[in-house]
A and B are shown apart, each in its own frame.
Chain A
Amino acid sequence: MITLRLERRHPLPLWQQAILPLLSVLAALGLCALLVLWAGADLLRAYAALFAGALGSRFAILETFVKTAPLTLTGLAVALAFRAKFWNIGAEGQLYAGATAATWFGLTFTETPAWLLLPMLLVGSFLAGGLWALVPGLLKARLKVDDVVTTLLMNYIMLYLVSALVDGPWREPVSQWPQSPDIVEAAQLPILLERSRFHLGIPLAFVSAGLVWLLLARTPLGYAIKAVGVNPRAAEFGGIRTTRVVAVTALLSGGLAGLAGAGELAGIQFHLMEAISPGYGYSGIVVAMLGGLHPLGVVLAAFFFGVVNNGAQHMSRVTGVPTYLVEVMQGVTLLAMLAALLLNEYRLRWARR
């Protein structure tokens, strides 16, 4: 009988580790090919349409960046949290918290000039998302309540809150649709490039990636976060206040997701509604893992999914492949990345027994 065995090995050199996400993406594209073929489409034509739809024109590229920005922020949120082993599956709810806060700022401060209102709005969204994550964070740190379930449940709670808001006190008075009125113009993130939706939030997302990198690589807090994530008992032994570190991590993580919400609200939609996020919070998990929990990797992975998300419509129009292929691709990529990460620790050995 031929068996496949995993044999321990020395960790791969850094450059080889960087290939692993690429392998995962290729594996995902390969597995999803089965679905594409089932749809009766020509494989190369479908994938070509996917990429062309995302990168084939100036507008397309800028739209890809529009999609990349929230993915970057939620990816950073999840990556930072996962580094501390805080399993933040609640980025979606934190995003909505940020969007809700941004809406409040944008509806309340009607007389404030933009140079003051925008920073207030961004800080407020950051805090809203941060606080939404702090609750499960503290529950985990102090009471050992499982963070996966609590962050997930908080998503649903936030969603229902938004639903109640846009159904009730914030309902658009003229059209009576379940969405908020538009925020004032001073609260809207300025468009930076004409004939596109490329707004100020997009470069801010990339700056955030840089800041997160700085935090993790060069600050004492970043060191503490890494230590707590690697071995909380040893961190505690060393005198690190793990409860505090987890709480701060939760705050920062939720804050980043909150900024994603602010970006979508104040940069793209301008009014709050239940469908303001097509699942960016959950996609952030895949982005974070694909990026190896590293801020630079997150940016690249976010860009990849930005491409895929943006190009799906075009692919669907040209070849008839349902856009839901993207959802499947997310799941497959995540699983493939997990399997690929194994190669960093184990070698595959065929053996005849």
Chain B
Amino acid sequence: MTGSPVVRMRGIRKRFLDVVANDGIDFDLHPGEVCALLGENGAGKTTLMNILFGLLPPDAGTLEVWGEPVAFRSPREAIARGIGMVHQHFTLVPPHTVLENIVVGTPSRGPWLDAASARARLQALARLHGLDVDPDAPVWQLSVGEQQRVEIVKALYRGARILILDEPTAVLTPPEARGLFKALRSLAGEGRAVVFISHKLREVMEVTDRVVVLRGGRVVAIRQTAATDPQELARLMVGREVHTPARRPRPGAGPPVLEVEELAVDNDRGLTALERVSFAVHAGEIFGLAGVSGNGQGELAEAIFGLRRARRGRIRVGGAELTNRPAGEVVARRVARVPEDRIGVGLLMELSLAENLILEAYRDPRFRRGPFLLSSAVAGFADRLLADYRVRAPHRAVPAKTLSGGNLQKLLLARALAREPVLLVAHQPTRGLDVAATEEVHARLLELRERGVAVLLISEDLDEVLALSDRIGVLYEGRLMGVVPAEAARVEELGLMMAGVGGPEGPRA
């Protein structure tokens, strides 16, 4: 890593409504380095890079790229300066081919699409860095890892000398992540500069040269990777000592509450998403289902929630048959549900907090007087829940969209747990939450376990699953690869299962 900075950001400030995402940030990037931008969720990493990429204008501050001051009005201008970005949620067009996705918007000779020369150039570029892609494949057919490679080639095709990757390993299996790291080192070796946004300490230690730590919208530390360690980084990231929650021994598992038997579920395209999945979750235990997203977790959760048909198999809660029953009945059987897509599926953002809290319960007789809703009963119910779950909001009548991510999750939990459930199914409950909010959710899950509730935790975050679960299962391509007790679980073994290797279902390594 040598040379003067190719990027120089000074005093960058950006505010969204009440939240100051970037509070006077200085950031340098040097050619030939892989620089980590580390911070917990909400620290301002993505915002800063979106500004560099021209997606957002800063409220204040200056930006210099290749020594020249710039003020990007759109990504197009940033791309012209050699900046490329791969976002956390892919920006690809599924029905189009890889070639179409990569070539769109690039200068062409004449009005016609020149597929032949584009294909040649693309393939040469991809091969150079070990990023093989099939130009004529429609994107929807590609695996997540392959899609990410397309995104990177897309940036390189436009001549990106500065490449920004936002949480690239969130969707990769451990072997795929290692392939990515090799590619990144190859790119840095060519003299390009790479920004690696992440909140995963182990990976930052493995692939980066330098770490810039953000907290609360500010740079709190800059370290050479070789000169630091995960504990120091964690402390800098969160601002205090981070402790893994002490796990009390299992209070003695009770009878099975959730029983899933030979479940087969299809996805929206009619393809098999789950095949012959069987497991049980007992009262007073946390069953963690690990696996990279897209392997059937969503469909499993939806089937249990009462939102998706099961083609075959049975779902039983407390002995009662709940296969293919409507959502209302699942709720009535005291199943608490926390969906993966908080905002899209779980909440009514334009309506008030109270109106959100009664979504599952509004038909209860205690809220009715004749044909009318009893607003006083609703108000009391809402106020009590907001207080019990410490949701920070001025009043129950404010619209839900004014709440922060952490508070929205607390709102969801409050609603889900209001009925004294026997089973909680939580899908990605801490995604996008900062460490403080995550700790609160984890504490809540452990508390439920103490009280004898059965908890099914579906999460991509292997660390989270390891920290909380009593038993761990891994989903891969719709099959349950194996179930291991927590004491015996090893990261390596689980990682292999997540990639389809090992376990009773998968081929031997």
Q: Which residues of A contact B (CB under 8 A)?
A: 8-11, 218-220, 222-224, 226-227, 230-231, 233-241, 353
Contact = CB atoms under 8 A, between A and B. Distances in A.
Contact of B355 (A226, A236, A241): A226
B73 A231 contact: no
B328 A230 contact: no
Contacts of B17: 8-10
Given A233-B344, A237-B305, A239-B306, 9 more contacts: A10-B18, A11-B399, A223-B355, A231-B348, A235-B359, A236-B307, A237-B346, A239-B329, A353-B57
B399 A239 contact: no
A68 B18 CA distance: 44
Among A10, A234, A240, chain B packs the most CB atoms within 10 A around the CB of A234
A219 B368 CA distance: 9
Contact of B362 (A220, A231, A233, A234): A220
A237 B363 contact: no
Contacts of B305: 237
B410 to A, nearest CB: 17
List 5 tightest A-B contacts by C-beta distance, closest first.
A239-B328, A238-B359, A239-B327, A230-B348, A230-B350
14 contacts: A10-B402, A11-B402, A218-B372, A219-B373, A222-B373, A223-B355, A223-B362, A224-B362, A226-B355, A227-B351, A230-B351, A237-B305, A241-B328, A353-B73
Contacts of B73: 353
A234 B359 contact: yes
Contacts of A8: 16-17
Interface in B401-415: 402
B360 interface: yes
Contacts of B360: 238-239
B441 interface: no
Contacts of A222: 373
B360 to A, nearest CB: 5
Nearest to A1: B73
Given A8-B16, A10-B402, A226-B355, A234 B345 contact: yes
A220 B363 contact: yes
A269 to B, nearest CB: 36
Nearest to A214: B372
Contact of B373 (A218, A230, A241): A218
A11 B17 CA distance: 11
Interface in B334-356: 337, 339, 344-351, 355
B118 interface: no
A241 B345 CA distance: 15
Given A219-B371, A219-B373, A234 B346 contact: yes
Contact of B327 (A9, A231, A237): A237
A222 B373 CA distance: 9
Nearest to A218: B372
A229 B216 CA distance: 36
A327 B362 CA distance: 43
A230 B327 contact: no
A332 to B, nearest CB: 27
A11 B401 CA distance: 10
B462 interface: no
B373 A237 contact: no
Contact of A227 (B328, B348, B363, B402): B348
A196 to B, nearest CB: 36
B125 interface: no
Contact of B348 (A9, A10, A11, A234): A234
A226 B399 CA distance: 13
B262 to A, nearest CB: 26
A233 B341 CA distance: 10
B326 interface: yes
A144 B99 CA distance: 32
B231 interface: no
A233 B302 CA distance: 12
A230 B359 contact: no
Among A10, A11, A227, A353, chain B packs the most CB atoms within 10 A around the CB of A227
B331 interface: yes
Nearest to B330: A239
Interface string B394-426: 000001001000000000000000000000000
Interface in B293-342: 305-307, 326-331, 337, 339
Contacts of B228: none
Contacts of A226: 348, 351, 355
A135 B377 CA distance: 37
Nearest to A345: B401
B404 to A, nearest CB: 14
A353 B373 CA distance: 53
A210 to B, nearest CB: 14
A232 to B, nearest CB: 10
B71 A234 contact: no
B345 A233 contact: yes
Contacts of A233: 344-345
B375 interface: yes
A231 B347 contact: yes
Contacts of A231: 344, 347-350
Given A236-B307, A238-B327, A223 B373 contact: yes
A233 B71 CA distance: 40
A142 to B, nearest CB: 16
